[in-house]
Amino acid sequence: MASIHWALLLFLVQLPILATSRAYNDGNLTLWCHPDQAAALLQLKQSFSVAATTATLLPSWQNRTNCCLWEGISCDASSGLVTVLDLSGHGLNSYGLDPALFSLKSLRCLNFSNSGLDGQIPIGISKLVNLVSLDLSSRRVSDYDDPTSAADWFNHLWEPNFEILVANLNNLRELYLDGVEIMSSSGEDWGKALAKYVPRLQVLSLEGCGLNGPIHHSLSSLHSLVAINLGSNDVGPIPEFFADFPNLSELQLSYMNLQGWFPQRIFQLKNLRVLDLSSNPNLSGHLPNFPHASSLHTLRLEGTNFSYRNPSSSGDFKMLRELTLDGIFLSMDFLSSFGVLGSLCQLKVDLRNSQNVLGPIFSWIGDFRNLASLDIYRCDFSWTTPSSIGNLKALRSLKMFDCNLPRPILSEIGNLINLQNLEISGMSNCKLHGSVTSSIGNLTNLRSLYMKNCDYCGAIPAAIGYLRNLRRLAIYHCDFTGALPSAVGNLTNLKSMVIERSQLSGPIPYAVGQLKELTQLTITVGNISGRIPSSVLNLTKLVGLDLSYNHVTVMTQNNSIRITHGPTQERSIVYTPCSNCTGRIITSTHSTGHIPTPLFALPKLSYLNLGWNQLYGPIEEFDALSSCLQLVILSGNSLAGQFPKSFFQLAELVRLEINLNNFVDSVDLSSFGRLRKLTGLDLSHNKLSVMIDEGNNSLYTSLFGLDELGLACCNITKFPSFLTHLDRMVYLDLSCNKIAGDIPKLIWERWNNSLLQLNLSHNMFTSMQLTSYVLPFSGYLEVFDLSSNRLRGQIPMPDLSSEYLDYSHNFFSSVLPNFTLYLSHTNYLSMSNNSINGYIPETVCHSMLDVLDLSYNNFSGPIPSCLIENAQRSVLNLRENHFEGTLPSNITSECTFQTIDLHDNKIEGQIPRGLSNCSYLEVLDIGNNRIVDTFPSWLGELSNLYVLILRSNQFYGSIDDVIGNHQSGGLFPSLQIIDLSLNNFSGNLNSEWFGQLKSMMGKFNSSGDIVRATNLEGMAEYYQDSTELTYKGSDVTFTRILTTLTAIDLSNNRLEGTIPESVGRLVSLRVLNMSHNAFTGKIPTQLGGVTDLESLDLSCNQLSGEIPQELTNLNFLATLNLSDNRLVGKIPQSGQFLTFDINSFEGNLGLCGPPFSNPCGVSLAPPSMARVEKSSDVDVILFLFAGLGFGVGFAAAILMRWGRIGKWFVKSARALWT
């Protein structure tokens, strides 16, 4: 909407300038701008930085040149004063405009749309009293022909007082604030302000400004309004007085949640050209007679409740060029009422529920001879003939969204030989193979091909190579398999190739190097491996290269780029510098192990992302003087060696990320001071020691633009003082260092408007410089992490809710009484491992918490029932507190719990049966409580349940209900850890008891992943489940549970009868403990088939017979306890049995042979019953990150308790560790 009016106004403003300039040029005269204004503009230029794909920042803006000739500037023809400043879409970023802008009082047009502005609209704009047009909007613009355009750099602005903004702008005719958050958003506030201060306003565009209604009647005084755009706001209903604006030509009201009946008089406006009512599903109306229908150019009615079935004659629509309709109420009678649409060139139609009339509808569409663009939504093409699409020969653009496209339809698209743009998104029912899309090769005029969310199985057809006019190829979230065909090398006009989240594998074809026009090459989040061809160095126009999140391992050989695996031939080319290039390509002769340095020297490359691959080895020094690299991401690899000093010479560098590698070096942070444009730096998680010269006063002046800094695990011992001089910080990560003392108050006082993520965890901070326990953050804080420090006292809360809050592993002792008031938008809250006392208030349920972890504290009282009943969260961890009372039973079917951990509290009563509604539940731990109940076999219906811990309660009765009526094995299909120990279960185990545990019957193919809640929307890496098991004779707390950990603990109950032979089917079982029961009979020989077993404890039962020789097959068995049974015969003398001492077998009077001293066949007196009691409860805490046994590799804390001092020792040791 804005484009026509902006262009017209700009033309009128510049017309005298153009005329005068021509006269001056004819006379060899030049009109110079005023020096003070040129100086102000140059000062303003310093407010901006460039986007990653822009080579230079406003290159024509140079000192001692005529600013009237600078890009984006126009001057008055007679005075030379600057009247137009238009920096829209220049790929800029700015976190605050220089006040020098507001000295340009002569400005009439100011356009900063899509200029990367961030923050509050500067109040100084109100000083530009001569403004006729003001545009600060954020609009999404897609440029198919130029993928490197900066149109995606949006503004992120807000305006706290709309009246102050417009109070002095009485000359304003056009106001565009799309996407600006207007905090004074009531209809009365902004309506009165506009009516009072800008009475001659002609264009009002406030789309997506967070406005709420109703629209105030004062707006009716703006009789000059020509265009109104209030889309994506909630300001309904639409007032009748809109029909009284005689000059109104554009009215855009989409996505406004409009309800009721649309005012019919608006249809009668004689100058109406554009009417957009789309996406208001509760808006009713019908099309009346249009006396002025011939003037209407655009009519958008999709997503409304307009009645289409019995229209009157609607008038003449001969000028209609764009029409959008909804198929819910579509009928041929309605379509016929439009008459002959001879000018229609763009049609958008939603065809859901229109299956029965698809044929006539496409016949109707086929009559539009000038139709160039067709967008189709939700059409099931299986109800129509393929020719319905194939006959639309004039189409130049076809977009199909969420359609069912059978094979014949896809083939017919190949007949649209005039197509220039094809977009298919959300394609369903396309799991087909073969030549389904080979007909695409007929579309030789195609310039843009875009596919997204298509579940097509098969390879990208080689016929794509016939699309020689293609400029843009984009494939997102499609299941194409196989290798990228070498035929893409024929697309010699291609400028952008973007393939994200596909199943493509194998190497990038060598033919890619033939795409000499390519500016963007992105193949990311896939299975690309093999070789990156050396021909990529031929792409001298390449601006962006992104191969992140693949499996590439780069090596160089004979001036080529190799990857260590992939069956493809390698060609070697020697490159030499060319005199007419802006940069140089450097040859490399090293044979293995390095990222090829010529990549860094591609002449136009400004964006290089090779992160999250399998790159390794050092980065050699390279010639950086001619490079225009602005963004370099090498994170998440195995790069090693010294930090490349060449990075310090990348003069255009804006962002450098090398975190999560293995660089070993000492880096002086002041060296980055040479990079004057640097805004982002991440050196975290290497083996670097970052040196910060606190006496270097130039450091903070040279890094004044830095607003994102990651120095985690960089051996820093003091909070960097140069940070105290920076006025803005967006991201700061100083975690995993040795910083002690106070956390400085500048964080929440100076950076309170800008900071998004703060991570100071795993340091030695002891206090915070606070004036209040409510931190005055006025902006949105995403991450606030103070975990693993030495902080004490009351927990401080950010004033505005943070998405992620972590205070765990400190010495905090209390929380704010009303702390839940500050959790309105918090998804993750952890206060675990502190010493916090008190109750959980019921108001915690008013939050949006997805993860609540209060474990290892001193909370007491009942658990608020709403925390469990209104289970719209993924994780509830209240482990090791003093909670008491019973659990609520009214758990709804909307339960989304994945983890419930209530271990070691004082909870009584029964397990709530409502937990059977929690179909996502993976971990349930209610061990060490006072539950009195029978075995909850009904939990077996939960198909995702992985961990079930019921130990140390008062459960009773049989556990044979695990079978019950489910002989087919339908219960507990995913269970891999079950702990029923220390209860009162009794009775026999059914012969098929173990046979129900299907997930333990298959071998694992890997070392396993960490069990974590999977629905945390980006936070799964922060929360990790833990559990406590008796493992190898000790109580072990597994702080990371691997999916390969399988354990069954039935110990310390009153179970009897024989051990079922079905135990031998659990081939992946690692831990089995059935000790301290009353089992009788023989040890099943089938146990010898459980070859992954690491810990076996059958002690303190009444087992008899010989030890099966088959147990010697257990090659991973590290702990065996068969003591205190009635076993007889010779102890096996092979395999792991040679490693076990006497403690594994004592208490069996009939056993003989080593490690006993009595040989077999010799009768000896029975051993004294006064033998020393085994110490199964030794109090030691060992914190390890190592494999326990042979197959379980995870972090564990081994807690072996010993007598009355155990709890004191555990508590003291934990305090020392923290």
Q: Is residue 824 part of a domain?
A: no
More confident residue, 153 or 640: 640
Q: Is residue 2 part of a domain?
A: yes
pLDDT of residue 1177: 37
- pLDDT band at 1187; cut points 50, 70, 90: very low
Q: What SS3 class is residue 650?
A: coil
Residue 1178, CA distances (Å) to 76, 648, 1043 in order: 89, 56, 28
Q: Which two tokens stand for residue 1155?
A: 């490690």
Q: Is residue 708 part of a domain?
A: no
Q: Write out pLDDT tens, residues 1110-1147.
A: 999 999 999 999 999 999 999 999 999 999 999 999 99
pLDDT of residue 1060: 94
Partners of 805 in the β-ladder: 784, 829
Residue 187, CA distances (Å) to 181, 234, 250, 350, 580 in order: 14, 10, 20, 33, 60
pLDDT of residue 1146: 96
**Domain coverage including residue 64:** 1-235
pLDDT for residue 1018 is more than 50: no
Strands in 564-692 per DSSP E: 607-609, 616-617, 631-633, 638-641, 655-657, 662-668, 680-682, 687-691
Query: Residue 724: how many CB atoms within 10 A of its CB?
Result: 12
Helix (H) or strand (E) holding 39: helix 35-45
pLDDT for residue 352 is more than 90: no
Helix (H) or strand (E) holding 869: helix 865-869
Q: Is residue 209 part of a domain?
A: yes
- pLDDT band at 697; cut points 50, 70, 90: low
CATH number of the domain encompassing residue 20: 3.80.10.10
pLDDT above 70 as % of the chain: 80
State the amino acid at position 246 in one-letter form.
P
Residue 1128, CA distances (Å) to 927, 1056, 1109, 1164 in order: 36, 20, 13, 14
pLDDT of residue 154: 58
Q: What SS3 class is residue 455?
A: coil
**pLDDT (mean) for 746-763:** 92
> Measured at the alpha carbon of residue 801, what is the angle toward residues 190 and 208, in degrees to the nearest 5?
30
Least confident residue range of 7-21, 470-484, 751-765, 784-798: 7-21
pLDDT for residue 448 is more than 90: yes
State the amino acid at position 521 in one-letter form.
L
- pLDDT band at 1038; cut points 50, 70, 90: low
Q: What is the domain count for the chain?
A: 1
φ and ψ at residue 495, rounded to 5 degrees: -105, -30
> Considering only CA atoms, which of 663, 626, 676 is closest in space to residue 646?
626
Least confident residue range of 22-36, 1006-1020, 1105-1119: 1006-1020
pLDDT for residue 965 is more than 50: no
Q: Write out pLDDT tens, residues 624-638.
A: 887 889 999 999 999
Residue corresponding to tokens 């545009």:
135
pLDDT for residue 242 is more than 80: yes
pLDDT for residue 1030 is more than 80: no
| Average pLDDT score over the chain | 82
Q: Write out pLDDT tens, residues 1077-1104.
A: 999 999 999 999 999 999 999 999 999 9
Q: Is residue 940 part of a domain?
A: no
Q: Write out pLDDT tens, residues 603-619.
A: 999 999 999 998 889 99
Q: Write out pLDDT tens, residues 372-388.
A: 999 998 888 887 776 77
State the amino acid at position 87 in one-letter form.
L
**pLDDT (mean) for 976-985:** 96
CA torsion through residues 48, 54, 56, 58, sign = negative
pLDDT of residue 638: 92
Q: Is residue 1177 part of a domain?
A: no
**pLDDT (mean) for 894-904:** 94
Q: Is residue 1202 part of a domain?
A: no
d(CA 296, CA 287): 13
Q: Is residue 649 part of a domain?
A: no
Q: Write out pLDDT tens, residues 58-110.
A: 889 999 899 999 999 999 999 999 999 999 877 787 767 889 999 999 999 99
d(CA 596, CA 486): 23
pLDDT of residue 585: 31
Residue 693, CA distances (Å) to 435, 670, 732, 928 in order: 64, 7, 19, 53
Look up residue 333 and give its DSSP letter. Answer: H
* CA 321 to chain CA mean position, Å: 40
- pLDDT band at 459; cut points 50, 70, 90: confident
Least confident residue range of 685-699, 876-890, 926-940: 685-699
Q: What SS3 class is residue 1141?
A: coil
